[in-house]
Structure 1
Amino acid sequence: MLTLCAALAGAAARGADFLPAPPAGPAAVQILAEGGRLQGRLEQGVAVFRGVPFAAPPVGVAGRWRPPRPIKPWEGLRSAEAFAPACPQSGVSMPGEAPPPTSEDCLYLNIWSPAAPPAVGPLPVLVWIHGGGYANGWTGMPLYSGERLARRGIVVVTLAYRLGALGFLAHAELSRETPSGTSGNYGLLDQVAALRWVQRNIQAFGGDPRTVTVAGQSAGAMSVSWLMAMPSARGLFHRAIAQSGGVFEPLALAPGYRHAQAEREGQVLLEQLGAGSVDELRRRPAADLLVAAAGPLSHPVVDGHVVPRSPGAAYRLGQVADVPLLLGSNADEARALLDTRGLTSARFEADLAQAFGPLPAPLLAAYPHDGDAQAVAARLALERDLRFGWDMWAWAHLQAEHGREPVYYYQFGRQVPFPGQGARAGWGASHFAELWYMLDQLDQETWDWQAEDRRLSDAMAGAWVRFVKTGNPNGGGLPHWPAYRGGASRLMRLDSLPHVGEVPNPAALEVFDRVYEALRRSSGED
């Protein structure tokens, strides 16, 4: 093999050729990228580089609550053979996972690239953004390994971003430090910095910077919706995949997404910690912030600068990245997130009001709950649609109505054979469930997989990879998947026997739509 460095003339047209590094053994490979020389590993025909820095450590007074800064070059050979720690967090992004190692020095990415030079130029690139409610998640989670998809002829990148209050704190003092007069959204800026790094460097790893797909699940998919509305992310990706996450509800439902309210919530954090200033808080251990920071500090905000307006408003004004989209959600999203034990018909409305505040009567009527069993089913269905189903349906409609590029819409319905005991018992087609299939990772688990599971996983991984390559998932083991056109259009039902079918529960989704549209109009939102 030949060495490929970003500085070598003509190398970009060929893709990556990795140089074995004899001093470290036959499985080592080296490459020159921004900052210096990296040593990764050759694993089953895939060159893997873990813990590659894309920004300087966001630590201390110089880095905490500031935009990501360029990395400093290093001398000699830097090991890229182990995952970097996760960004500071408490808990886990998925029930059943072990807590990851953490460090505030966490802005690293990982790359999987086929080691053999591609026959025709550089390869399409998939950039994966993990979920976890903007508060948890780790690129080192085994499920996120890109090796299986890379073997199908793409380059896979997984990126980290700052989480919780460290990633999204807004405060008036921070706003006064910036020319734009805004603050927050540091986690989103990290994602943009990683995408820019990909544009500058991915050719050295065999990837094509002109064919980048940004993808994510849950908060990762929500991040994709923000990135599509961000001017600073324009041109950094050319297709998008969003799995069970988007931000399209009226901002009136989430006042903390508005910058002024986010700044007030930031001040509450300072008071909780007894800090007299943001600079004082910059000197506190990250663990202090994890103890005190509540949910309102763990999400992006519409600040008029980094995020000029919400994704929904940006769509309606024609101000989003118009790229091919693949998106959808799961049939039983809420089973992984909601404990329905003890739920009765008599307590149905009170429990909802406690969780979300009073809900409009038309919404309650759309989910009949006369008996206890019906109340459990209704609660799961409403939670699914409120948190995921309506967002993905609305996103598909917005792209079909306002975009020129196609949108491919799915619902995952396969009842996954999760173990009968433990954190994932009874999940079915829950939140997270599609990940094992589209990432081609069934072999990571010793669950009771059936032939239908393996066929579905192969078909889904193939469809996702074809979309990364061409912007169209069609071909392989799925029936023809038509682009969604809105109205009475149909979606792909990813189940034991994948088929094109009707959108599930459309009447209830339309009720959500009418309620939200009335709220937007009454609040004067774009």
Structure 2
Amino acid sequence: MLSIRFLCLPLLLAATALAAPTAPDTPVLEKRTSPKVTLDKATFVGTGDGSVNKFLGIPFAKAPVGNLRFNLPAAVDPYNGTQTATAFGPACPQQALSLPVLSGVLSDAADTVVNGFLSLIEPSAEDCLSLNVMVPDGTKAGDNLPVAVWIFGGGFEIGGTNIYDGGGIVKRSAAMKSPMIFVSMNYRVSAYGFLASKEVKAAGVGNLGLQDQRLALQWVQKYITQFGGDPSKVTIWGESAGAISIALHMVSNGGDPQGLFRGAFMESGSPIPVGDIEHGQGDYDALVSQTGCTGAADTLQCLREVDFSKLKKAVDASPSFFSFQALKLAWIPRVDGVFLTQPSQQLVVNGSVAKIPFVSGDCEDEGTLFSLSSLNVTTDAGARSYIKDVFTPNATDAELDKLLSLYPSTPSAGSPFGTGAFNAITPQFKRIAAFQGDLVFNAARRFFLQQRAADQPVYSFLSKRFKVTPVLGAFHVTDVLNVFGGGELTDYLINFTNNLDPNGPTVPAWPQYTVAQPQLMTFLDGFTPTKITTDDFRKDAMSFVIELSLKYPL
């Protein structure tokens, strides 16, 4: 039997690395003067260790409570007085995750990892829209350092800034003589940030989590010079939901970034096949019913006024990414007519994309983690029904036949890829994992790159590390350790933030991705940690997945 400790090791390592505070290399005995920065008429007092100064928990928006709940974020009033900025602000309210029904070691492992991860995010509160700024010690206004703005992931359902300490990255940038500033922000997740229905669309309050992020980027433009940053040199960077968010910022506003960013660095996230905001009507109606708002003349206003504990209980009952429907998320960015005017992949086809350099990469086995909730699907007929009912309800029989032929139940063809007959814990697990991983991640990434590589500098990677993880392989989120844990991606990110090119003297050469030569920086286990490979795997399958996602957005 597999040991729980072994199965959880990659995620636990990642969680440990992300949560650990950055410490100086040698003990500091003398009392240090706390770093300070002036914003408007206020003095913010941060914390420093001699290498990195941190200003934490700075509010960038008014508390989204009362009439600001389920409403557009409002910028804070001008700052004044003396304010302490030495602790991360609370995360926004989280959605409880309904763990898949597993047995034995898999059940124990999932419970350990998920509950351990969620415990790191706490505390949470509705008044949560704050951000953090980390700078090399000694940085002052006028230094004009480039800025990396981190947007966390979590399936648009969970996440917060307090588990992502960018101090180690800032310290590394100084050691490389390419100093940069790290910024991270909280934004509303789950229904609190991505409520979806005809009522939401009519009120013009869709995609609130993305609007929170946009307001934080505007804050950076207004205030980052006070920290020694250059507002014209901002790179937006994120993973999973954070990377998807970045892609959506790139395709919004007709592709005009409005000077908010000049580069993008995306880990496991691209424009995804999402449809109209009214596709969320069923989940909205359930929320209204469970909070007692069904009879209200204005159900949206009723949700704003309902007691938070009652609202949270209803939100927690929503399907999560560990529910049977998996990556067809209940609360996700959708076409609202304001932030997104069309499905994001259609906007890419239309050329509505910010013409900036970007990096976009994935893990090889993106779909495995999200396929643990469908282990009761064990037959060809069951797989067909699952894919049709959940992901492609309008697909024709001929289209389903073709899709299933491109994603066969043969274990050697499934994910974790390259593991032969191993990890086939059910007759359909590896097949469903392959399909989900391509639909939301790898096919979406390749489509984005192929559409844009002729018009702007782009780079791509594939992470095959932690491949030996039983059942999951090189699963979603494992690449985060490569950047927050001090791997090669750390230096690539620092180089890109400084020069809009990931290459530099401390890391292997990373070729630009082109339509004719779609080359990937591939991260491997073992004695050869990197290799340049070609992005041509599962070519027919991914092309057909994109054809379906353009035709039938979720």
Q: Structure 1 length normalisation: TM-score?
A: 0.80
2:206 matches 1:184: yes
Shift of the 341–185 alpha-carbon distance from structure 1 to 2, 3 Å rule, reads closer
8 Å contact 2:263–2:356 — kept in the other structure? Answer: yes
2:241 match: 219
1:244 match: 268
Shift of the 285–505 alpha-carbon distance from structure 1 to 2, 3 Å rule, reads same
2:183 match: 157
In the TM superposition, what whole-angstrom CA distance separates every residue of 1:327-380 from its partner, at most 9, and x where no partner exists? 011012223332276765655445545653567222211123246747443333
Offset at residue 438 of structure 1 (A): 1.3
8 Å contact 1:88–1:286 — kept in the other structure? Answer: no
2:7 match: none
Moved more, 220-229 or 275-284: 275-284
2:61 matches 1:55: yes
2:117 matches 1:97: yes
1:273 match: 291
2:463 matches 1:412: yes
Q: Which one of 469, 481, 499 corresponds to residue 498 of structure 2?
A: 469
2:533 matches 1:501: yes
In the aligned structure 2, how far is the partner of 1:155 from the partner of 1:279? 40
In the aligned structure 1, how far is the partner of 2:519 from the partner of 2:198? 47
Shift of the 70–356 alpha-carbon distance from structure 1 to 2, 3 Å rule, reads closer
Moved more, 298-307 or 110-119: 110-119
Task: Give the secondary-structure state (helix, strand or coil) at the position aligned to 1:28.
Answer: coil
Shift of the 40–500 alpha-carbon distance from structure 1 to 2, 3 Å rule, reads same
In the TM superposition, what whole-angstrom CA distance separates every residue of 1:283-340 from its partner, at most 9, and x where no partner exists? 2233323322335652222122222223322222232211111001101222333227
For residues 285-434 of structure 1, the aligned pairs below 5 Å read: 285-293=307-315, 294-295=318-319, 298-339=331-372, 344=378, 348-353=383-388, 355-356=390-391, 360-370=400-410, 373=424, 375-401=428-454, 404-415=455-466, 427-434=472-479
2:167 match: 147
Moved more, 237-246 or 193-202: 237-246
Q: Which amino acid aligns with 2:337?
A: G
8 Å contact 1:239–1:468 — kept in the other structure? Answer: yes
8 Å contact 1:234–1:321 — kept in the other structure? Answer: no
Q: Which amino acid aligns with 1:356?
A: F
Shift of the 361–42 alpha-carbon distance from structure 1 to 2, 3 Å rule, reads same
In the aligned structure 1, how far is the partner of 2:543 from the partner of 2:194? 32
8 Å contact 1:185–1:301 — kept in the other structure? Answer: yes
Moved more, 386-395 or 340-349: 340-349
8 Å contact 1:55–1:108 — kept in the other structure? Answer: yes
In the TM superposition, what whole-angstrom CA distance separates every residue of 1:10-45 from its partner, at most 9, and x where no partner exists? xxxxxxxxxxxxxx9625211112462111100241
8 Å contact 1:345–1:370 — kept in the other structure? Answer: no
Offset at residue 85 of structure 1 (A): 0.8
Moved more, 190-199 or 65-74: 65-74
Shift of the 107–343 alpha-carbon distance from structure 1 to 2, 3 Å rule, reads same
2:250 match: 228
Q: Which amino acid aligns with 1:65?
A: F
8 Å contact 1:130–1:139 — kept in the other structure? Answer: yes
Q: Which one of 28, 32, 51 corresponds to residue 26 of structure 1?
A: 32
8 Å contact 2:439–2:546 — kept in the other structure? Answer: no
8 Å contact 2:40–2:80 — kept in the other structure? Answer: no
Shift of the 342–384 alpha-carbon distance from structure 1 to 2, 3 Å rule, reads same
Moved more, 345-354 or 226-235: 345-354
2:151 matches 1:111: no
Shift of the 30–119 alpha-carbon distance from structure 1 to 2, 3 Å rule, reads closer
Shift of the 52–172 alpha-carbon distance from structure 1 to 2, 3 Å rule, reads same
8 Å contact 1:302–1:310 — kept in the other structure? Answer: yes
In the TM superposition, what whole-angstrom CA distance separates every residue of 1:446-473 from its partner, at most 9, and x where no partner exists? xxxxxxxxxxx1x221111111111111
Gaps of 5+ in 2: 1-29, 99-112, 174-178, 320-328, 394-398, 412-420
8 Å contact 2:251–2:353 — kept in the other structure? Answer: yes
In the TM superposition, what whole-angstrom CA distance separates every residue of 1:154-192 from its partner, at most 9, and x where no partner exists? 10111111112221224555555xxxx522111111100
Q: Which amino acid aligns with 2:284?
A: G
Offset at residue 246 of structure 1 (A): 2.3
In the aligned structure 1, how far is the partner of 2:549 from the partner of 2:198? 30
In the aligned structure 1, how far is the partner of 2:97 from the partner of 2:290? 24
Q: Which amino acid aligns with 2:491?
A: G
Shift of the 348–175 alpha-carbon distance from structure 1 to 2, 3 Å rule, reads closer
1:14 match: none
1:166 match: 192
In the aligned structure 2, how far is the partner of 1:226 from the partner of 1:91? 25
Q: Which amino acid aligns with 1:190?
A: D
In the aligned structure 1, how far is the partner of 2:266 from the partner of 2:303? 35
Task: Give the secondary-structure state (helix, strand or coil) at the position aligned to 2:161.
Answer: coil
Q: Which amino acid aligns with 1:154?
A: M
Q: Which one of 489, 505, 514 corresponds to residue 485 of structure 1?
A: 514
In the aligned structure 1, how far is the partner of 2:130 from the partner of 2:247? 22
2:131 matches 1:86: no
Q: Percent of aligned positions with the same letter in both sequences?
A: 30
Moved more, 313-322 or 212-221: 313-322
Q: Which amino acid aligns with 1:430?
A: F
Task: Give the secondary-structure state (helix, strand or coil) at the position aligned to 2:236.
Answer: strand
In the aligned structure 2, how far is the partner of 1:337 from the partner of 1:492? 25
Q: Structure 2 length normalisation: TM-score?
A: 0.76
Offset at residue 82 of structure 1 (A): 0.7
Q: Which amino acid aligns with 2:92?
A: C
Q: Which one of 217, 220, 231 corresponds to residue 209 of structure 1?
A: 231
Q: Which amino acid aligns with 2:404?
A: L
In the aligned structure 1, how far is the partner of 2:283 from the partner of 2:408? 37
In the aligned structure 2, how far is the partner of 1:300 from the partner of 1:167? 9
In the TM superposition, what whole-angstrom CA distance separates every residue of 1:246-284 from its partner, at most 9, and x where no partner exists? 2342xxxx5xx4144446753453233221133232122
8 Å contact 1:215–1:241 — kept in the other structure? Answer: yes
In the TM superposition, what whole-angstrom CA distance separates every residue of 1:189-226 from its partner, at most 9, and x where no partner exists? 11000000000111111211111011111111111111
